[in-house]
Structure formats: structure tokens, C-alpha cells
Structure 1
Amino acid sequence: MLENKVAYITGGTKGIGFGIAKVLLENGVSVAFSGRKRDDVEKAEQDLRQYSQDVLGIVSDVRNLESENEAVRYIKEKFGRLDFVIANAGLGIFKPVDQLSAEEWNDMIETNLTGVFYTLKATVEELKKTEGYYITVSSLAGANFFENGTGYNASKFGVVGFTQAAMIDLRKYNIKSTVIMPGSVATHFNGNIPSEKDAWKIQPEDMGNLVLDILKMNPRVLPSKIEFRATKPGN
């Protein structure tokens, strides 16, 4: 069902994006992924080749539309098509609102929200051709506000609203759109180093398996918003 399909994953060098890439590659999908740092992209590409040779690492910054347009050109040159887009790149800076700088605010909004728009803007014409799928990774922070979360909450609330509105715009082209809202995930996010203490959390491969399930659903159904959390939160 997924053979000969091509996916593009932003923020794919580690964590959630890497986990999604791994699962898709294991299930016959060709995967292009992006990250900001060349060293991280090259290492992730090498690591992912153990699952499939049909992988392409791209240095791209979702905060820059031309950078995302260039990423799509690379994907077309390598694979000739684009079927699935997973807008996953994200950034979290957690401070009281009176201590959050304008630069920190802008960096979160530009990465987490504007980047989601730029990724769709760069890929939408290709998705029209394949009647593809556009998936965004928001967070439970897109529905639940918390202390020190003003910038992060604002960006993730925005991703939920953006994706659901985009769903209505895009379905007339037979493009499906889903926003995933995970809770705690065992990743390097916010300086965490995954270890046994994170065993209770959602694992990156769990996110990959969720995306796989979404892509395998009958075309007549659309899970437009999915909340995804650990069964038993840790301490």
C-alpha cells in the first residue's frame, strides 16, 4: 500500500522525526528529511540507511520559505514525487512571560508555526498531484496552557488551528490533513537526554507507528485531530 510512496519529514535528525522516518522506511516508504545542522543531517542519514537506502537528508530551515522550496526541488530530483509531508520541526523555550525575550518568542513562533505554513506552502502543489497527506506535529500544549509556556502554547495552539483550517481548504483536492498532539515524548527536546527515566513516555517509534496507522487508513476516513499520551504518566 505504501510502496513507491515518498515522505518528507521536517526536524527529522532525531527524536520524533527520526522515529517517524525509521518506521516509514521499514514499511517501504522512501523518506526525505530535513534539519538545520549539516552534521546532524549527515549522521541521521547514515543511521537511517540501516533500514533502507531510499533516504535523503536535506539541510533546510523551516523558518525560510526558499529553503523549504529548495528542499522540495531536491526531493523531486531524487524521488520524482511527494506523497506525504510531516511537519515536525519544533522548538521550546520555557520562561515566565516577563522574562521571555522578543528574540525567543520570534524563534518559537517562526519555527513552530510559521515553519508549518512554509512547509505546506512549499509542498502543496506536489501534494495536489499525488492527492497526498499533510500531517503536523503539535502538542497537548496546543490545548492545555501551563506556567512558563506563553510562547510555546501560542505556537502549538496555532498549529492546531492552522492544520484544521488547512484541512478544509485542502480536502477539495483530495489532500488529507491531520494534526497530532502528543504528550511527553522521550526525546532530546528542551535539553533532555533520553534514558530509563523516560521509559514511561511516548517513544519516537510510537509516533512513527501512529503516523503509519494514519497513512494506512481507508481514504474515506480522516482523523483530523489526534491527542496522543502516555498510558501512565511518570513522576
Structure 2
Amino acid sequence: MSNDATGRAVLVTGGSSGLGAAVVDGVAKAGGRPFVIDRQPPAAGVPWIRCDLADTRAAEAATVRLAEQSGGLDAVVTAAGTDVPGRLDEISGPRWEMVVAVDLLATAAVVRAALPYLRRSHGSVVTVASTLGLKAVSDATAYCAAKFGVVGFTRALAAETAGEVGVTLLIPGGMRTAFFDGRTEQYAPGPDAALNDPEHVAATVLFALDQPPGCAVRELVVCADQESSYP
């Protein structure tokens, strides 16, 4: 994002940690105005609303509140994500559905609520899928279902809003974030796992947001060069 980003309002879901926090930091350093929806507070001084994104109606309301507070929106980055790894018949229905709600349904809910503001500003959306939105693996039915859904949702959104809103699908590999905290050894990356720094991935988000009118970065795959889930 170049110096002409000064004053641009960018809403980031999941902006208190991981990739979302890195995007918030990058936007702020570029002179933009980040706003966050999350369950935990973001960096000091960043306007935010506490919200459990599994509650999609609350996510919509939070989006509208922040859009009105900021005087509109220039971009939305849906960086919030969660996972509960395990075999399908070993994960309760509510926990399985929570993953899909946060990773897929909240993505659609936030973008839906933001669209009127983004159309007015000819703004941009960056959705965050995963390499597991392209390659399915065992013990990740909820996460794969959600992230495959984000891929389809974003491609359809790009067709639907072409010429009105810039839409980019980000497909990151594993990153060095708290995403893997609390997992059993079976589902945690080993000490030698190939993981990317979230700051590197955030830089590609800012690149997508910085494209001039009429130019869209439609899809980005960003991962460590030894990422095991891509291609």
C-alpha cells in the first residue's frame, strides 16, 4: 500500500492476532485507518468492536457500526479463522458448525454488510481462504469445507461485483501464528515445519489493496516454498 493510502478505512476481521494483526500493522504504517472486529482487543489505539464471528448477525451489525464510525469503508480483509481438527465422527456438531460459521458464513456476512459502503468508495475485498481450500486432507472436514467455500464464494463475488468492487482471493499456506496453539502433537506442526511469517503474507494483502481502479489481483497463493499442502 503506497503513500496515497492515507486516510483509507480498512476493516479487518480477526485483526487482534496472526495475519489479521499483521494486516492492521501494515495498513497503519501505510497511513491507512484500520478497524477491527474480533473477540480480543487489537493493538492499542485501533478502533474495534468485540464480536464472536460465529454469530453472523452480530458480525453484520458490527460491520455497519464500524463503517458508520469511520465514515465509510475503502476495504475489507476477512482474516478471522479457526479450526477444530479431528475425524468427522469425533467432533460434535456444534463445534464442527462453529468452524464453518467463523471461516465461511462470517466472511459472507461481513462482506454483505460492507458492500454498500465499498460500492460507494469503489473499494476492495480480500478474503482469506487456505491451501486447504484447494487440497483436501483427512481430519479437517470442517476447515476444508469452509475454506473450499470461501474459494467458491470469492470467485462468485468477483463475477458479481466486477467493475464495482475489487475482489481478491488470498490462499495462504501455514503461518507462524497462534492458530496452532493448544493442539495435540498429532495436529501441531513440528519444529521443522515449513511455515510463513504472517508479515510476508500481509504484504501481499497490501499489494492487492493498492491496485489502481480497473486493475484487480484476483487470486494470490502465498506460502513457504516447502509448503506441504500446495500444490
TM > 0.5 between the two?
Answer: yes
Tell me which of 118, 134, 146 is aligned to 2:137. 146
Distance 2:53 2:61 in 1: 11
Tell me by how many angstroms 1:26 deviates: 0.3
CA contact (8 A) 2:53 2:59 kept: yes
Matching residue's letter, 1:206? H
Identity of aligned residues (%): 25
Tell me which of 98, 101, 104 is aligned to 2:92. 101
Distance 1:6 1:123 in 2: 12
Distance 2:192 2:31 in 1: 29
2:134 matched to 1:131?
no
Structure-to-structure mapping, 1:20-39, within 5 angstroms: 20-36=23-39
Distance 1:198 1:186 in 2: 12
Matching residue's letter, 1:19? A
Unaligned runs of at least 5 residues, structure 2: 184-190
Unaligned runs of at least 5 residues, structure 1: 50-54
Structure-to-structure mapping, 1:103-122, within 5 angstroms: 103-122=94-113
Distance 1:233 1:68 in 2: 32
2:47 matched to 1:56?
yes
Tell me by how many angstroms 1:186 deviates: 0.6
Partner of 2:53, secondary structure, is coil
Distance 2:227 2:156 in 1: 31
Tell me which of 19, 43, 46 is aligned to 1:45. 43
Partner of 1:13, secondary structure, is coil
Structure-to-structure mapping, 1:59-70, within 5 angstroms: 59-70=50-61
Matching residue's letter, 1:170? T
RMSD in angstroms over aligned alpha carbons?
Answer: 2.3
Q: Bigger CA drift: 214-223 or 133-142?
A: 214-223
* 1:198/1:167 CA distance change after superposition, 3 Å: farther
CA contact (8 A) 2:12 2:35 kept: yes
Tell me which of 223, 228, 234 is aligned to 2:222. 228
Structure 1 residue runs of 4 or more that deviate by more than 3 Å after TM superposition: 197-200
Distance 1:192 1:23 in 2: 28
Tell me which of 159, 162, 165 is aligned to 1:175. 165
Tell me by how many angstroms 1:74 deviates: 3.3
* 1:220/1:198 CA distance change after superposition, 3 Å: farther
| Cα deviations by residue, 1:154-208 (Å, 9 ceiling, x for unpaired) | 1100000001101111124x20111101001010003169xxx579521121122
Distance 2:60 2:227 in 1: 40
Matching residue's letter, 1:60? C
- Structure-2 residue corresponding to 1:16: 19
Distance 2:120 2:226 in 1: 42
TM-score between both structures, scaled by the size of structure 1: 0.86
Aligned residues: 221
CA contact (8 A) 1:84 1:134 kept: yes
Partner of 1:171, secondary structure, is coil
Tell me which of 3, 6, 30 is aligned to 2:6. 3
* 1:184/1:65 CA distance change after superposition, 3 Å: closer
CA contact (8 A) 1:160 1:179 kept: yes
TM-score between both structures, scaled by the size of structure 2: 0.88
